[in-house]
Chain A
Amino acid sequence: MIDLLLAQVQLQDRANGGASCVADNGFCPSWIVDNFNRYTDPLVQHVYLTLVSLAIGFSISFALALLAHSRRWLVGPITQITAVLYTLPSLAVFFLLLPLTGRGNTTAIIALVSYSLLIIFRNIMTGLDNVPGETKDAGRGMGLTDRQLLWEVELPLALPEILAGLRIAATTTVGLATLAFFAGAGGLGEQIFADINFKSNVVTAGGLAVLLAAALDLVILLIQRLLTPWTRARAT
């Protein structure tokens, strides 16, 4: 049934391809060049889903981490709850949310955010826990209040771990966003799914997703280099 539908879609979609390579479901560079524009909208949508989910996920995780930092007993419960959210398969979450939030970006973003919470929260906590006690004592000795200590000493020193967590979350979110079309939110996955037997299509859409993940990873790494010059000095 679905194969039949897909076959029809394929015939319509590839009308402007022409070459026998395309008819054979092959890998055709010329087709990719000619049809690249059909990937731009899904790519933009993919970037949008990823960035919005990361921004919301980071904000929530950051707030939770600050809360758990001052109230240690919260670390266990928050870790357990976010671990359950992390465990739930995103595809299942999309459809579990569907009756509540309907089809569209909202459902996709809720699922993607819930997946990133554990990764970012745990890394922020690790970063804060790894700040040497002597450094905090020195800060306190200089007369810093708890708030100043947090923002001026602990968080800057935790930045490498925090950004490492963000990198993991970013690549994971790009990957999961390929499933967001099941929730009606489009993205590169929709393009992959539209013609899964056509090598050119799969390689282009899948390749764009991998490139996007790599690019985001690199951008966050560069931000980390800029924000924490001392780590580089220590490494070399």
Chain B
Amino acid sequence: MTTSYAVLGQFGDAIRFIFEGQTSTEGTHVGGSQFLDLLWEHLKLTFAAMGVACAISVPLGLWLGHIRRASFLAISISNVGRAVPSLALIAFFVAYLGVGFLNVMLALVLLAIPPILTNTYVAVTQVEPDTVDSARGMGMTGAEIVRKVELPLALPLMFGGIKTSAVNVLATATIAPLAGINTLGDPIINVSGYGDTGRLAASMVVAALAIFTELALGAVQRAVTPAGLKLESNTASRRMRLRFGREATT
């Protein structure tokens, strides 16, 4: 029984660490308000990387999907992306480009692109050819078809990819302190100033942040789903795919 009490105690200490903080062994204040600085850096890195990744992969995925070319590239990029460990990717950037915000951000961009690109591509190619033909029959140009037909119908699955990437980038930003950027991973990687309590506290914040992101982007995903698709999605598997937004198989 004593061990389970000790366990509760450690988690309790960690929660106090998050809200109040304490004085570190080096004499500075850690935890509490200092966590807000780390959180800000963490979010800044995540948003920057996701912004660049979306700006690259959404138009590219829409275009490749529209012309229905390069399916091998669009699909296999996510398989390759998955095989490269995030730690190896960041270490590679540190070893070759050095530390710094931009370098870590570029590594995270590379990490974020594959799921968004593949999901956008698959989403566009899954639009019924008949629908596209009707749009063309109504006199829409290629750009109009992409904007008014393919994009709205692709949105749910595309957002699934963005959600996957966002959660992944958020999780990987935790190891950014290896490259000199003090995100919420700082208490986890550079444990010396914070102690075990600080490390546990940071882990709890990172975990909560990931779940919050997943839920928030899930809500956005449902909000952007066209009403027509919602009506159609009565079967269980369809609902599951919309809610979790990742492709079932590839």
Taking the closest CB of chain B, its distance from the CB of A128, in whole angstroms, is 10
Q: Which residues of B contact A197 (CB under 8 A)?
A: 94-95
| CB-nearest residue of chain A to B218 | A83
Q: Is A63 engaged at the interface, CB distance under 8 Å to the other chain?
A: no
Secondary structure at the B interface, as helix, strand, loop or mixed, is helix
Q: Which residues of A contact B79 (CB under 8 A)?
A: 171, 217
Q: State A48–B204 Cα separation when bound (angstroms).
A: 28
Q: Is B136 engaged at the interface, CB distance under 8 Å to the other chain?
A: no
* Contact-residue bracket for chain A: 35 or more
Tell me the chain B residues, 42-96 only, with Cβ under 8 Å from chain A: 79, 82-89, 91-92, 94-96
Known contacts A164-B250, A210-B83; decide if A79 and B240 are in contact (CB<8 Å): yes
* Contact-residue bracket for chain B: 35 or more
Chain A residues in the interface with B (C-beta under 8 A)? 1-2, 25, 72, 75-76, 79, 83-84, 87-96, 98-100, 118, 122-123, 125-127, 129, 161, 164-165, 168, 171-172, 174-176, 178-179, 182, 189, 192-193, 196-199, 201-203, 205-206, 209-210, 213-214, 217
Chain B residues in the interface with A (C-beta under 8 A)? 6-7, 10-11, 79, 82-89, 91-92, 94-96, 167, 170-171, 174-175, 178, 185, 188-190, 192-193, 196, 199-200, 202-204, 206-207, 210-211, 214, 236-237, 240, 243-244, 248-250
14 contacts between A and B (CB under 8 A): A1-B190, A83-B244, A84-B211, A89-B174, A92-B203, A95-B200, A95-B203, A99-B7, A126-B237, A164-B249, A172-B82, A199-B95, A202-B94, A214-B83
